[in-house]
Structure 1
Amino acid sequence: MPDPAVNQAEQDVPQQPPAPAPQAGPTRIGRLRGLMSKGPLGRVVRVVFVLAAVGLGCYALVSQWSQVRSGLWDLGWAGVAGALVALLLAALTSMQAWRVLLAGFGSRPPLRGAAQVFFVGQLGKYLPGSVWSVVAQMDLGRAYRIPPRRSASAAALAMLVALVSGLLCTVCALPFLQGGAIGRYGWAFLAVPVILAVLHPRLLNPLLERLLRLARRPALEHRVSGRAIGLSLAWSLLYWALVGLQIWILAVSMGAPALKALAPSIGGFAFAWSVGFLIVIDPAGAGVREFILIAMLSPVMDEGRATAVALVSRVLTIVADLLTAALAGWFGRGMAAAAAAAAQDAQQGPEAPEGQGQGQGLG
């Protein structure tokens, strides 16, 4: 409630006209998001985005089919089905790691809406360029009153949490790894203390505020807490355990010793993904990750079968991405339109609660 004494003091001070705010030129992400949000043209761009992402994902799947066909035959359908289930469960934990960060910034979309924003937006990683996933999540989140700056901040933090949790997972597996699989990529562990320091709320929140000021964007309404970061880190560690379980199922189905294959499967895949993320050569980490994963698995199985595991895992990951996006789009159909209509009605209502339309979520 306003303080009358403060108001009186303000009246006694001559008021200076506010200086005009500097206008920032549109950033790359801003231009892309603006293009996706402009009426009928925006709808066309969104449809083209989904079709292009799905098309490239399917192309990646078909292009690798000849290499994995024999591996799938050797694995058997039970092993393939078990690995795919593990990947689908891992996808849910990945969404939760992102979702708790988004809630930390003040936006809590319903579960089906969050799944639609996250899984459909994730298809952008199959498009050339490194920003499409973020752009898509920013655009899809608008229907659930998620301010774009929150979507972008949550997406960036989720990547950092995934990276540091993957490297921590590898550190835990190091005593059980055989041979020199880490080799020349050991420098990746230098990122762990740096990222952990950045993720501390006392450093993270001022850093986010500074970046938003540099981009000349409004400040975040909520500061993310240590609890939100800790929960996201816990979900992310569970994600690596489930993805590693997928590798382990494939490796054991290929004849690897069950106990000896556990650490290379969990720690090996986490390390391969982390190095692939840091190097950033191919879309969605193709190439580098397979090379490292094969090196990590080679001490417990012959190189040919390790290669088959890496390639089959790659194909199953694409299948899981396409399947989760399709399911999220199907179960979330109509929700975005209903959420946008509800937000508009609430904003137009004479007794709309304070903060309505600020991305507080619908449930």
Structure 2
Amino acid sequence: MEPPSYAAQPDGGGWPDRPGLDTKPRESGAPGRVKKFGPPIIQLGLTVVVTWFIFDRVGVDLALLRTLDPGEWRPRPVLFVSSCALLVLGYLWSATLWGRLVRDLGGPRLPVWTTVRVFMVANLGRYVPGKIWQIAGLAYLAKREGVQASVATGAAILGQGIALLAAVLVGIGALFGANELWRQIGWGGLVASIGAALTIITLVVVPRFFRRVVAFWFRLTRTDPPVDGLGSGNAGLRWLVLYVLNWGIYATAFWLLYLSFGEWQTFLQVGPAFAAAYVVGYVAIFAPAGAGIREGVLVVLLQPIMAGEDATVLAVIARLWTTAIELIPAALLAAGWLGSEGTSEGTGETTS
């Protein structure tokens, strides 16, 4: 459900040639969230080892996990449907934010429906082997709507960076949920967490710092950073607030998913854990899409309110839930798009 992890531009192209933007192209590299972390076999090995370590530390009993009755995991329909609807809203909100970032970087104002269609259909590329397809698809689809490829991908990369900071802020809320977590981290952990939140806010709110953070993020993802065109006024604060709201929607959707299977718990005991798990899974660059790592961290954060085995099942359900809710609407949009193009081409051939 997270915002897509966009990589470097597929051809290493620079930003559009206009005042305030760096047009010097960089060397192209293998796309990825950051520099590739070794051969695939090493990435897989690290993912398995770290995931096993996390589940071992929290004491998940695999034998007991196999004895769980699937019949006990029947969701409450109203809450489950509500969680799905809210998750879809989160995806739509993320797509809309990408469209607004396109405008801030000098691109055209796209209709809302076009923005959603381009963004979500491009996300299908994440499920195709090879990391190039998502960003190449976004560049191709956006270009057909009059958006330069560099602007389209630049907006996605910038949005991903701000969304990651927003997820950290929302994820910190997990420390204020379960009493057990509070006792485990102690005052030192609490002070460090608050300090991290204040640091993020300062780096984004102060325009001079924000531009340096943006430049660093684009170097990390090996793409050309925008020197200007980030919007008027305090653009960093505006985008941080919008992406915090976006992650608030995601966290609330996960809270409703939990309530559809489990007993009542407050939002702080459940929702922020999803954002925190996403952040850890994202920075674990050796794990494809944070697989295993994200689920392990989610189990750790949910263990104070549910058994480790139950938390493991919920983490797996959450992965399937986010994948299905992203794939189904995107596939329908893609099918509708292809169908409309086929109809228009057929009409053109008939009238010619």
The TM-score by the shorter chain falls in which range?
0.5 to 0.7
Gaps spanning 5+ residues in structure 1: where? 1-21, 31-65, 338-363
Partner letter of residue 96 of structure 1? T
Shift of 1:26: 6.1
The 8 Å contact of residues 174 and 301 in structure 2, kept in 1 or not, is answered as: no
More helix by share: 1
**Residue in structure 2 matched with residue 232 of structure 1 by the alignment:** 239
Alpha-carbon spacing, 1:280–1:68, altered in 2? closer, same or farther (3 Å)? farther
Partner letter of residue 106 of structure 2? G
Alpha-carbon spacing, 1:247–1:204, altered in 2? closer, same or farther (3 Å)? closer
- What SS class does the counterpart of residue 258 from structure 1 fall into? coil
Alpha-carbon spacing, 1:267–1:208, altered in 2? closer, same or farther (3 Å)? closer
The 8 Å contact of residues 101 and 159 in structure 2, kept in 1 or not, is answered as: yes
**Residue in structure 1 matched with residue 116 of structure 2 by the alignment:** 115
User: Matches of residues 118-197 of structure 1 in structure 2 within 5 Å?
Assistant: 118-128=119-129, 130-180=131-181, 193=199, 197=203
The 8 Å contact of residues 150 and 220 in structure 1, kept in 2 or not, is answered as: no
The 8 Å contact of residues 281 and 293 in structure 2, kept in 1 or not, is answered as: yes
**Residue in structure 2 matched with residue 319 of structure 1 by the alignment:** 324
> Which structure has the larger Rg?
1
Gaps spanning 5+ residues in structure 2: where? 1-22, 32-65, 343-352
Deviations 1:18-72 (A, max 9, x none): xxxx996862479xxxxxxxxxxxxxxxxxxxxxxxxxxxxxxxxxxx9999278
Alpha-carbon spacing, 1:172–1:77, altered in 2? closer, same or farther (3 Å)? closer
Shift of 1:167: 0.8
With structure 1 as the length reference, what TM-score do the two structures score? 0.63
| 1:97 aligned onto 2:97 | yes
RMSD over aligned Cα, in angstroms?
4.0
Partner letter of residue 252 of structure 1? L
Partner letter of residue 164 of structure 1? L
The 8 Å contact of residues 166 and 274 in structure 1, kept in 2 or not, is answered as: yes
**Residue in structure 2 matched with residue 247 of structure 1 by the alignment:** 254
Deviations 1:172-224 (A, max 9, x none): 442223323887xx799859736862685435557768969xx8979777343
| 1:267 aligned onto 2:268 | no
User: Matches of residues 253-332 of structure 1 in structure 2 within 5 Å?
Assistant: 253-259=260-266, 262-330=267-335, 332=337
Deviates more, 1:79-88 or 1:322-331: 322-331
Alpha-carbon distance in 2 for matches of 1:67, 1:224: 55
With structure 2 as the length reference, what TM-score do the two structures score? 0.64
- What SS class does the counterpart of residue 304 from structure 2 fall into? helix
Identity %: 26
Alpha-carbon spacing, 1:247–1:219, altered in 2? closer, same or farther (3 Å)? closer
**Residue in structure 2 matched with residue 202 of structure 1 by the alignment:** 208
- What SS class does the counterpart of residue 75 from structure 1 fall into? coil
Alpha-carbon distance in 1 for matches of 2:223, 2:313: 49
| 1:70 aligned onto 2:70 | yes
Alpha-carbon distance in 1 for matches of 2:168, 2:270: 14
Aligned residues: 277
Alpha-carbon spacing, 1:224–1:305, altered in 2? closer, same or farther (3 Å)? same
**Residue in structure 2 matched with residue 359 of structure 1 by the alignment:** none
Partner letter of residue 249 of structure 2? L
- What SS class does the counterpart of residue 311 from structure 1 fall into? helix
- What SS class does the counterpart of residue 122 from structure 1 fall into? helix
Shift of 1:132: 3.7
Deviations 1:323-355 (A, max 9, x none): 231243355558899xxxxxxxxxxxxxxxxxx
Partner letter of residue 275 of structure 1? V
Alpha-carbon distance in 1 for matches of 2:67, 2:155: 37
The 8 Å contact of residues 68 and 311 in structure 1, kept in 2 or not, is answered as: no
Deviations 1:248-291 (A, max 9, x none): 223223333333xx113221001000111111233322211111
Partner letter of residue 202 of structure 1? R
The 8 Å contact of residues 158 and 214 in structure 2, kept in 1 or not, is answered as: no
